[in-house]
Structure 1
């Protein structure tokens, strides 16, 4: 099977409609129900939404995420999942950039949604849950008011149609909408087979829906006909209990989550015998943590490296390459080989020319999964691709003689903390607003739990009352999202710079202990 997501739902509804497609906190949606409900969403949107409109989704990982994604695709519209962890000002800026016409949210984020609506005249708000307001319909009432006949979009002939717009920051810290088409995002039969799916597979999805990892995992599980068990509020205790109680067979877990689970008291007494495969990625993982996780869960593991602009996975380390103690254990430091249909080239970042095996350079890719570009940003789109049509990831790495990719320092300064991208410029700009800060540079330092810890190196103004590190961290609370805040602050007399005045961040990293 190699189907676009709407066609996969249509097929499963016809062939095995009573099977569970989505489940969350005891609520289940069968494939027949998902097909019908997504049709109603499509008709509801088409009733008063112009062609090509952007549909915002501001909610946690829940069943409605799948319904809305499929429904908007069936209508030929574009879903824009919004990062609920952003500050209101950041969230509003993303919504304005996307030009949202409809925003679906849940009560937890109603205050933020109201602020967004106030900034965008005419934006229609729909609440997932009860609503007593005449001008703000409740989700279920909104669906029920429309027929469930299928508009028919999202088929094989719509491969080049954009249906998803995911916002990711750039090196300037300005969010950019990455466009993904049906052709970029569909799961083919080879990919599905690699996951070892069975008819009754249960796939835990504990990742947020604004993340390519969470959306990609939902996409592949639904295409395979599995039960996507949506997990809206992660705690390691609840995740361990859910995996055991619900008989989870498949999961996508970021390294920080694996660390939390392996450190959970009593975790060894849990019954994880139903687990077939754990996929991990979104941030680097240490071989120590990987071995510990393999021993604990006793199932197959699959590692992945990718990026939003590349449509998700670029390379993967399959189960057979997870050799804990044998001659192949060195591969645990790699992110595997390119997936089928993906070409990976390591290029000299200055000349763009390919380098020899074992030589570090910038990772560049050619693939049908590559984005056609950024929303309304032609200059940034042009800069994303080199003269050979390769997507420039900004990540550093090298290929060994057998074609395995090993990551090195990033070409860009991006920090990956707990699976989330943090761009130093954003944090630096927030800290620079403090009256006692003269200069600041932000780097990522290795951290056992988070992968990398956002670390600020600060030069204070002469004569200013010196704040503590915690005071500076607290200062950023209302300026940037919580996960972007520094976890550590170091004070120095001066920042190291090259003759051109550029801060030497590599020296900063090496000098902090």
Structure 2
């Protein structure tokens, strides 16, 4: 009988084949594959001492570190469930998650223990490696007992509201999000995965944070592919450090969170930072990357392949778009769908090419949310589980798909529907615009009015010139009636736009211009 598809088991088997190959590098050190197994056993001891076993959940509030990887693998080996917690969350926010999701322990950094004094029990903790920011596993006071057994859990970033805990089986999350990109297809057989990864894989710098899905998934995919994960943990983002780290560690690929990270890399390169000699691939996700940023990257690294991914906590990876410097015209990504990805009509039937529908996936998708809040994202169609997103997409005749923005972001102005992503794409093509986000603000006459929050490319910004540019490419009702200039677009740690902050900026601008 074939063993279950568990990342811990696969990575342990790969360690026996090439024990001295680099496995994980972080800002504090490095471990080879055998050394990673030693760290996993130590992390397993921490969890065992606190009684965290089958069915128990614990909060994991660490960044891109070897200990993060070791604790994930140790937890899955003992049927416990780590829950990612944003490192920016403060004590009151973490306390809410502890209550909501039955967390039995908190893994954090030692210098934060005092902050969490009201949450963790009697100061008892188990220290990790002796480096800056020592890892501590601390028990929760009055430890709760989870009502539902979950193999893999992911706390969403709250893009569309309050964060929610998404439940998966380990098998399905590997197939949907952690399977190595270099493999020709996806197989649920761990023997196939080990055989394909036995000879080793790429050295990938992971800059996206591991307390979010994208960074975690890429790290595990690299290790399951037999490669080396180079974890960058400096916050705030230090682009010069990323480039130097990629050069020092001879990285073939780098993973970043969309425009927020890629734009900073361009600034560093423009400022004289040398491009890494071996870097051939930039993997972006979590948020779009602007056309101008891609072309600027190619000015410094003409051979660079830019791979944009699209996915969600509920579906895993839905598609990838690969682009090169030779790509003509618009660089709007045309995504090649992963297995099971489709565009559906409102009745969940498959949409025909040319029609706008909702992005969905059948097959290996999440089990749903671990809360009582209503949702309409999951269904069973023809006996197969389907997850349906609020992302508008259009299927192309060649089988690729284009994104048309989130349906829950659509602006209704005077009865006309405006997709902000379409407007943002046009604005970003103007040389005076470095970055932007388009939102709707309340309007007594039209219900909502289209407003752009813009980061200009230089010290001056001619709003009317940019508006004329947009008007020549968009219907009049889509053109922003006003543009609010800012020093930087507000973004979450994941790289996604902080829409609540952007709307607040647009609203303040509206109030300032009111008669």
Q: Is the 8 A contact 1:85 1:482 kept in 2?
A: no
Give deviations 1:81-128, integer Å, cap 9, x for gaps: 1101234333322222121111111135334433543xxx68975454
Query: Does the alignment pair 1:214 with 2:215?
Result: yes
Q: Shift of residue 46 of structure 1?
A: 3.1
Give the match's secondary structure for 1:333. coil
**Aligned partners of 2:304 and 2:324 also within 8 Å:** no
Answer whether contact 1:457 1:491 (CA < 8 A) is retained: no
Are the equivalent residues in 2 in contact too, given 1:59–1:109 (CA < 8 A)? no
1:270 corresponds to 2:269: no
TM-score by length of 1: 0.70
2:506 aligned residue (465, 489, 492)? 489
Partner of 2:342: 344
The answer as to whether partners of 2:168 and 2:367 remain within 8 angstroms in 1 is yes
Give the aligned partner of residue 421 of structure 1: none
Q: Secondary structure of the residue that 2:47 maps to in structure 1?
A: helix
Structure 2 residue runs without a partner (length 5+): 139-148, 186-195, 412-419, 445-483, 489-495
| Residue aligning to 1:230 | 231
Distance 1:212 1:140, change over 3 A: closer
Match of 1:398 in 2: 394
More deviation, 13-22/88-97:
88-97
Alpha-carbon contact 2:110-2:136 (below 8 Å) kept = no
- Corresponding position of 2:290: 286
**CA deviation after TM superposition for structure 1 residue 305, in Å:** 0.7
Q: Which runs of 5+ in 1 are unaligned?
A: 132-137, 143-160, 416-442, 461-468, 474-480, 495-510
Please, which of 102, 106, 127 is the counterpart of residue 105 of structure 2? 102
Structure scoring higher RCO (CA < 8 A, sep ≥ 6) equals 1
The match for 1:301 is 306
- CA change 1:242–1:493 in 2 (3 A) is closer
Rate the CA distance shift 1:96–1:126 in 2: closer, same or farther, 3 A: farther
Out of 14, 17, 20, which is 2:16 matched to?
14
User: What displacement does 1:35 show?
Assistant: 1.4
Measured in 1, the distance between the counterparts of 2:136 and 2:208 equals 25
Spell out, residue by residue over 1:470-502, the C-alpha distance to the aligned partner (whole angstroms, 9 max, x if none).
9xx9xxxxxxx99676252334889xxxxxxxx
* Superposed counterparts of 1:349-428, under 5 Å: 351-368=347-364, 370-377=365-372, 379-380=374-375, 383-388=376-381, 389-413=385-409
CA offset at residue 71 of structure 1? 0.6
1:62 corresponds, among 52, 65, 71, to 65
Structure 1 pair 123–207 and aligned structure 2 pair: CA distance change class (3 A): farther
Preserved contact between residue 358 and residue 401 of structure 1 (Cα < 8 Å): yes
Distance 1:16 1:190 in 2: 18
Structure 1 residue 406, shift from structure 2 partner: 0.7
Does the Cα contact within 8 Å between 1:221 and 1:227 map onto a contact in 2? Answer: yes
Whether the 8 Å CA contact 2:24–2:30 is kept in 1: the answer is yes
Q: Does 1:193 align with 2:195?
A: no
Judging changes above 3 Å, is the alpha-carbon distance between structure 1 residues 71 and 387 closer, same or farther for their aligned structure 2 residues?
closer
Matched residue pairs, number?
A: 413
1:165-180 mapped onto 2 (5 Å cutoff):
165-168=153-156, 173-180=161-168
The answer (yes or no) to whether the contact 1:261–1:267 under 8 Å persists in 2 is no
Instruction: Give the deviation of 1:28 after TM superposition.
Output: 1.0
Contact persistence 1:9–1:34 (CA under 8 A): no
1:8-36 Cα deviation digits (max 9, x unpaired): 22112211111121111251112112112
Question: Is residue 105–residue 137 contact of structure 2 (8 Å, CA) maintained in 1?
Answer: no
Q: Greater CA deviation, 71-80 or 81-90? A: 81-90
